[in-house]
Each structure stands twice: as C-alpha cells, then as structure tokens.
Structure 1
Amino acid sequence: MAKNILVILLLILTGLTPHAQPKATHDVYLFGYFKGGGTDGLHLAYSYDGLKWETLKNDSSFLQPAVAKDKLMRDPCIMKGADGLYHMVWTVSWNDKGIGYASSPDLVHWSEQQFLPVMAHEPQARNCWAPEINYDAGSKTYIIYWATTITGRFPLVDTTAEAKYNHRLYYVTTKDFKTYSQAQLLYEPGYNVIDATIVSDKKQFVMFFKDETRTPVQKNIKLAYANKLTGPYNKPEKAITGNYWAEGPTAIQIKGKWIVYFDRYRDHRYGALTSDDLKTWTDISDQLSLPQGIRHGTVFKVTATDFNKLIASI
C-alpha cells in the first residue's frame, strides 16, 4: 500500500497521472455525438486511426442544450471555420421550425446558444432534422443544411412513411452567423430523404444521405455529386450500405481512404465502409470500436495543438 502511494505521489509531482492522456504529435479525429434522447447534450470521442475510439471527459456532456421548447441536442455537427472557431449546429426538437447553433474556440467553452428559425417562413413546415454545416472557401460562405417536411409541398410517394413525413433537404448561407439567407431547396430526388452530409473530393462535392423510403424498403445510404457546394446534385447512385436499415452517415478521408460511418439503428450498432474512389466500398464494421450508446453525430479532424489544448482543459 505504501509503495503504491509513493508511486502516485511521484506521478503527481512529475505532472502525470496513472491514466494521463499522452500528448498528440499529429492530427487527431473527433466524433461529436449524442446519447439516449439527446437531453444531456454534446459528447466527444477521439481516435488516432478512425477505428478505435475513446471517450473524452468520461463520456459526460461538454454542453447542455438550452434552446427551444424541447431543449434537445441531437445530431450535433461540428466544423472548424475560417475564423478559427468551432461551429456547431444540432437538432433542437422533433417538431420545430429551427435548429440550434453555438461556437467555441476550444470545444470546451461555448458561446451562448442560439435558436435559428430557418423554416419559420413556411407555415406548413413540420420539423428541422439533422443539420450540418460546411464552408465554401471560394465565396467565404458557410452553408447550413437539414431535412424538413413541408406538408403538401411534394407528392407523398411512400404512403407508409412514418407519421406521413416527406422530407427534402434545405439550406441557408451566412458569412458571419448573424445574418442568414432565406432557406432554399438543396436536394429533391423525388422521394423522402434525410441525414445529408457533404464532403469535398478533388473538384467535386459528394453528398451522402439516407433514402428514407419505407415501401418498397430502402432505409439506406446513397451518394450524389455536384460541382458546387449548393448544387445542383445529380440523381443518386445505388445504395452503398447493405441489407439493413442505416442512417446518420458521417464521412472523412484518412490517409487517402474514405471512411463513412453510419448508425445501424435497428441493430443497435454502428457500421463503417471504406473506399479509395467512392465507388467500390468495403465493410470494416468489425474493425470499429466505439463508445457504448453512441448515436448520430459527426467525425472531424483537429490538429495536435487543438487536441492537446482540449485535453488540458477538461
């Protein structure tokens, strides 16, 4: 017992602890996600290779939701902007005409949360789900996009859709997170579509999204391409996921290979596919190690400097 106490004292004096997180020497990948119903807010996990993920802060919340009637923080999407801040958007409610927004210099200290009423001008809008955010360096503009059902706006092709939801994808733009454009249609493939995420690949933009069609069943992840961030995006290609229900894709390129993560929500597990060319995909789900209870979120890369500051702050 005395020997163990002496070891711990020596570790403390040298600035270490038995479970101290070593400093990163290269880029680190973070996964921002929610758990349960989304009432306790933002969770973060980290990885050095995109496969083995460990929780941060003992998997406790980094930010408690504070806006909208339901005060939820589901589907968080985080990106580092040209201004050096991390910008986050999220779903605040199952049935609301807006989304949540906040920013942070270090992922620990956050600005006051804002409610962005992006669909308030649409009387028949039912919801705003799974917002994401990208930056267009050419125009120095941020684009925020999400899925909304506007009752009666589009033909309800799938009459078995849950609660008659019939989503399409919409977006707004902003340069300063103070003024926003009016929402416009981003993608209309002719059927119910949600959970979009967009990545840049060479000179084109690639949209991963969920085909929400229930009859005949799809519930899978598809891709569409565009030459501009705001589209127009082409007709979708065939599904890249298999014979299971998948949603909430998030994609990143690691060492020249694309990895797309997605929630196999009926199976209560996460899946992942990898590809060199965004055409041929290999299932690597059995190589994944993720925090228990992880739900829809976003993977993003941070520098070693930012990661070390984050570790030092928690």
Structure 2
Amino acid sequence: MKRRGFIAAGGAVVLGSATGSLLGSGAARAATYSGYAMAYFTESPSMTAANYALHLAVSADGLNWTPLNQNNPVATPTLGSRGLRDPFILRKQDGTFVVLATDLNGTDWSYQSQYLHVWDSGDLRTFRNYRLLKVHSLATHAWAPEAVWDAARGQYAVVYSAVVGGHNVLMVNHTTDFVTASAPQTFFDPGYDAIDGSFVTVSGVNYMYFKNNTNSTLLGTRSATFNPGSFGVYTSAIGPGRGVEAPQIVKSNTAGLWRMWGDTWSPNGRFFCWQTGNVAGGSWTLLNDRDYTQPLNSKHLGITAITAAELSALTSAWGAPAWNRLKSYNFPDRYVRHANNVGRIDSYPFDPYQDQLWTLVPGLADSAGVSLRSVNLPTRYLRHSNYAMVLDADDGTSTFKADATFYRVAGLADSGWTSLRSYNFPDRHLRHFNYVLRIDPISAGSPATDRQDATFKITY
C-alpha cells in the first residue's frame, strides 16, 4: 500500500499446505516446496479492473503465473471499508494460515483505519473467522501489513506503515493469535518516508527490503534479530529506472537464487523482478520481461513457496482461466490485442484490458489447429484479410474459417515459445510489424528479427 508519501510495510506472502490444519509445530519449516502462490488485488489504468479483495495465482516455476478462479476474488472483506489492499498470507507455526490486509476500499487515501482485515484458513480454499484486528489508536493509517515469526519472542511480529513524526515509519505489534496484539512500537525509522517492508532470513541473518518513498527506490536492511530499531541499511538504491514499490523476496525452490519483485505506482501496475545468488552481497540483476508474466491486472504481490500437493489442490479448487493472453517475444511488455477491430501488440497494462483476452478454440477450418475468439466480442475472431490481421465476425464461409485458423508450432525464435502458422497460407506466420499484426512468409531461415516478430508466449 503506497501512495504519495504515506504508505506501508508489506508484501511477503507465505502460503501453506492443503492439509495445513493437520500439521504440527514446525510444519512450515519441514515442507518440501515444488511451486509458488501469489496473493494480490487488481486495478487497471482506467480502474475498470479495480477489485479490492483477495486474489490468488499459482506457478510451478515462480515466474509465470496462473490466476485462480478466473482472476476473480477468493475472499472479500465485509467489515471496515469493505475493501482490502496489499493482502498478505502467512503460514503459521502450526501449519495453518492467517490472511492480513490493509483496510482500504479503493484509493481514498484520507480513509484512516487503525485496523487490519484478518482471516484464518487451513488450506487457502476456505477462509473463516473473518475479523478486524486493531493495531493502534493513532490518527493515521495501518497499511500493507506483513507478519513474521520472531522465535526469540515466541510471537509473530506484525509490521505495517503509519505516519509518526510527520513521515511514514514501519511500526510493529506482537501477537500469538492475530486476535489481540501488543501496543505498537516503531520498528524502523531511517528519518525519511519509509514504507513497504518485506522480510527474508538467510543463514541466520534477517533481511528487510523497503521502499524509500522520497525517491521510489528500494533499499535493503539487515539484523541478527527482529528487535525494533535493530535493522540497518546495507545496500545502495535499487530501481528499474522508474518508480518502484512493494518489494517481495522469494527463495527459488530449485536453485541457490533469490528473486525480488517490485510494483509500479497504482493503477499502472507492472511488476519488475530482480535476481541474486547472494542476498548478503546486496547486488541484484533485473530480469527481462520475457522471463516472467504477472497475473492480469495484479497489484502489490506477495509470493510464497508451496508444495506439489498444495499447488495441485489450489488449481483443482479454483481452476485456471478459460482465456489466454499472447505475449510478444521481442517486445515482452506487449500483448496481442484488438483495437478498433485491428490486431496489434500494445504495452501492458492497458484498458479495455479485455481486448487482450482470447479463447483458444479448435480451428474453425481444422480442429487440429486453433482459432482465437475475442472474449469481450465473442462473435468475432482474429483472422487475416489481405494478409492483415483484423477482428471479424464469423460469416460461416469456408474462406473465413480458413483465414481464422492457425497451427501452433515451436517458436521460430525460441522453441519454448509458440509461433502460429497460417492454415491457408502455410508459408506464412502471424507476426507483428510496427506493432500491427499480419501474416508474412517466415521460416527457420528468415532473419532473426522476423523470427522474433513471429514468436509469442501463450499465457494467462
């Protein structure tokens, strides 16, 4: 939760087990992880996608995400403002979960709630004991909460942002049950506006990354304890060349790597991802947009590792989207969309966001192929006409069916991606040229730029 000089600590989501209610103390530490889960809320540039409730997505590799429940919420607050931002999910010491979130519905920054939304869950498929937790009595907010187990205290530390002394600091309360909490204390105050704390422990050292809200960069701190006032900055400023907030650090399940995610200022939500093999060194490498795909319209992410059983159970419970998106290989911040009935690629995010959603149906001319039907104009398909790609209604003719049918083949620029070969012009592939879609003769022997133009990732 971070806006214009007063925002919050938050993000590190720790999701858990589909059988979490049966696990004993230490279950979170003993689990073997094979996937990841993400919590978020949604917004889009014109706010048509704004939904201030708990959303979930899952991933096998921690980079490419599948929204659950058709990207609809899985839990919605009904107390306080009746809306949430910055949801955080913690796997507790007994293996069950608690969900914390900012009490704010929308973008009314004058709304000053001293409460957090709270749910309990045994499996992230059902949410119970919904309540508000009061964390302070100050004339300020309590934004973007994160919780971490403080073994030395035998309690959970709930960290969030609030204005103290004229600027945002990170505050902390301690609790054992998330029903009542201790009196608030200042957890971290560098003397300037500091928000959005995210925690990770590596080799016995506790690291917290936060946003310097005066210049929209991220900084790393560390401490041997979770004691208030014990964290000190150890990195230089980190940023993608534009404003960033909501850091979130996640350990890779398969390599000695850590990834740190960040978010742009709302509502133009675009995620960034850095990677390092040495958190203690404080140096991070920014990944290319080609390497990851965020859930549609997602904001203020929180990620945790989950087991193979949890990944399967969540996907079975909530389902994958019935639609897909197509991401450009050489312009990976752009997605295939229709605009004024013309096929093109545009930079994410945009509205109407539905213009980038496609139902991939069996090919109209050959069921072994595929046709791309628009989600928001479901009588229309992407087809070529004089080699240009347009959105058009099926007129029932064999010509239309042929023009709207493609074969999925290994990506011409990257075999892990996809190229779409025309059904009735089999020497031609779908490609973009000056961001507009058409079909052109392209093969494995074509220039690299042409092959990259004709390569896409079919994703969500």
Q: TM-score range by the shorter chain?
A: 0.7 to 0.9
CA contact (8 A) 2:251 2:257 kept: yes
Distance in 2 separating the partners of 1:126 and 1:55:
33
Q: CA deviation at 1:54?
A: 1.1
Seen in structure 2, the aligned counterparts of structure 1 residues 285 and 247 have a Cα distance that, compared at 3 Å, is farther
Which residue type is aligned with residue 294 of structure 1?
Answer: S
CA contact (8 A) 1:273 1:285 kept: no
Tell me the residue number matched to 1:142: 156
Which residue type is aligned with residue 246 of structure 1?
Answer: V
Q: CA deviation at 1:235?
A: 3.3
Tell me the residue number matched to 1:117: 134
Aligned length: 269
Tell me the residue number matched to 1:98: 115
Distance in 1 separating the partners of 2:152 and 2:136:
26
Q: CA deviation at 1:174?
A: 1.0
Distance in 1 separating the partners of 2:204 and 2:95:
24
Q: CA deviation at 1:187?
A: 0.1
CA contact (8 A) 2:40 2:55 kept: yes
CA RMSD of aligned residues (A): 1.9
Out of 96, 121, 127, which is 1:85 matched to? 96
Distance in 2 separating the partners of 1:259 and 1:282:
9
User: Deviating runs (4+, > 6 A) in structure 1?
Assistant: none
2:44 equivalent to 1:27:
no
Question: CA offsets per residue over residues 186-222 of structure 1, 9 Å max, x none?
Answer: 0000100111111111111100100001xxxx11111
Q: CA deviation at 1:225?
A: 0.6
Q: Which ranges of structure 2 fall in alignment gaps of 5 or more residues?
A: 1-31, 319-460
2:298 equivalent to 1:297:
no
Which residue type is aligned with residue 173 of structure 2?
Answer: V
2:245 equivalent to 1:247:
yes
Question: CA offsets per residue over residues 34-62 of structure 1, 9 Å max, x none?
Answer: 01276441111111111111111111111
2:141 equivalent to 1:127:
yes
Structure number having the greater strand percentage:
2
Distance in 1 separating the partners of 2:176 and 2:96:
13
TM-score by structure 1 length? 0.81
Distance in 2 separating the partners of 1:182 and 1:268:
34
Look at both structures and tell me which one has the larger radius of gyration over its CA atoms.
2
CA contact (8 A) 1:199 1:251 kept: yes
Tell me the residue number matched to 2:261: 261
Deviates more, 1:196-205 or 1:304-313: 304-313
Q: CA deviation at 1:311?
A: 3.0
Distance in 2 separating the partners of 1:100 and 1:58:
23
Deviates more, 1:300-309 or 1:263-272: 263-272
Q: CA deviation at 1:236?
A: 5.0
Which residue type is aligned with residue 248 of structure 2?
Answer: T
Seen in structure 2, the aligned counterparts of structure 1 residues 39 and 59 have a Cα distance that, compared at 3 Å, is closer
Tell me the residue number matched to 1:226: 223
Secondary structure of residue in 1 paired with 2:53: coil
Distance in 1 separating the partners of 2:145 and 2:234:
20
Distance in 2 separating the partners of 1:88 and 1:230:
23
- Map of 1:1-314 to 2, 5 A cutoff? 27-36=34-43, 39-68=51-80, 70-93=81-104, 94=109, 95-120=112-137, 122=138, 125-150=139-164, 153-154=165-166, 166-213=167-214, 218-231=215-228, 232-235=230-233, 237-254=235-252, 255-265=255-265, 268-278=269-279, 279-286=282-289, 287-314=291-318
Distance in 2 separating the partners of 1:142 and 1:26:
23
TM-score by structure 2 length? 0.56
CA contact (8 A) 2:40 2:86 kept: yes
Distance in 1 separating the partners of 2:118 and 2:236:
33
Distance in 1 separating the partners of 2:77 and 2:292:
29
Question: CA offsets per residue over residues 218-261 of structure 1, 9 Å max, x none?
Answer: 11111111111234101353112232100111110102111011
Q: CA deviation at 1:26?
A: 5.5
Q: Which ranges of structure 1 fall in alignment gaps of 5 or more residues?
A: 1-24, 155-165
